[in-house]
Amino acid sequence: MAAPPTSVREPGSTGLAVEVTYPLRALLCLLVGMAVMYVPTFTRLAETVWNTDEQGHGPLILAACAWLLWDMRASLFGAPSKPAPVAGGVLLTLAVAIYVVGRSQQVIELEAGSLLLTLTACMLLVVGVAGVRRAWFPLVFLFFMVPLPGVLVQAMTMPLKSAVSVVAEQLMYWAGYPIARTGVTLTVGQYQLLVADACSGLNSLFTLEALGFLYMRVMNYTSKARNVILGLAIIPISFISNVTRVIILILVTYHFGDEAGQGFMHGFAGMVLFGVALILTYGVDRLLAARFDKQGGARGKQ
């Protein structure tokens, strides 16, 4: 005989304990199947794109999604489940097909991206459409784990690097520094600095957008307009942060030499980038609070 689902009492959204029924066998089967499929994928990602400064945020996104799903387990399994086997089966078939193509053709974007569809399909099979609606944020947030396509990176990196170089040059010129620019190469005094791909802002924009979405989820603002404005504000914030990073490297190189600019300060400037971005994001959020908190756009109940 099949073992019955396990029922436990979990704290609900109101803080009171609710009866939660977990279909352990179904969950175990799905977790084992996903592990067989995606552990090799995660291993490959860890050896390639996750091992770079540009897209090293992937494991953090995956861990955040796992934490969010665990945190909402009571709401997912507390209500009576209505599995959608047809929709879940069709979506799972599509996800497996995409995974097979990505795995066989070594297209890591398809291989990793299929996880979004696989996880959604599994939730349809276990808890149904209502559960997927409740878990929409972790499912959407998982998109930031997927590596950026190389074609997109190449197409957007050069324009962004050029824009960062132009703005940094103008600001340093207005500040009285002897600086000139040729393409994305900046000459300050006797030193030349090449604005690298990491300073373009594309990957930091992707990472900062992910952090912004997580911040909005944690804050749980009830105003959609506030969330949209805050999400869009991260785009110029990312650009300003990257310009700040380049200016710091220019100043360090000009005053302390090329070795200082390429040594510890190069990595430290990357930390400054995210520090500036977080400060600006919080500042924009406080400005929005002055308007939206009085209009019912403050934090809601978790």
**Annotation says 199 is catalytic:** yes
Cβ-contact 41, 109 below 8 angstroms: no
> 218 is written with which tokens?
């944690």
List 65, 122, 199, 226, catalytic entry: 199
Rounded distance between C-alpha atoms, residue 184 and residue 163, angstroms? 9
Taking alpha carbons only, the member of 77, 102, 54 closest to residue 206 is 54
Rounded distance between C-alpha atoms, residue 143 and residue 140, angstroms? 6
**Three-class DSSP category at 213:** helix
List 245, 286, 291, 299, catalytic entry: 245
**Annotation says 65 is catalytic:** no
Helix locations, the chain, DSSP H: 24-47, 58-71, 73-78, 85-104, 108-126, 128-134, 136-141, 150-174, 202-219, 224-256, 258-262, 264-292
Q: Annotated active-site positions, please?
A: 199, 245
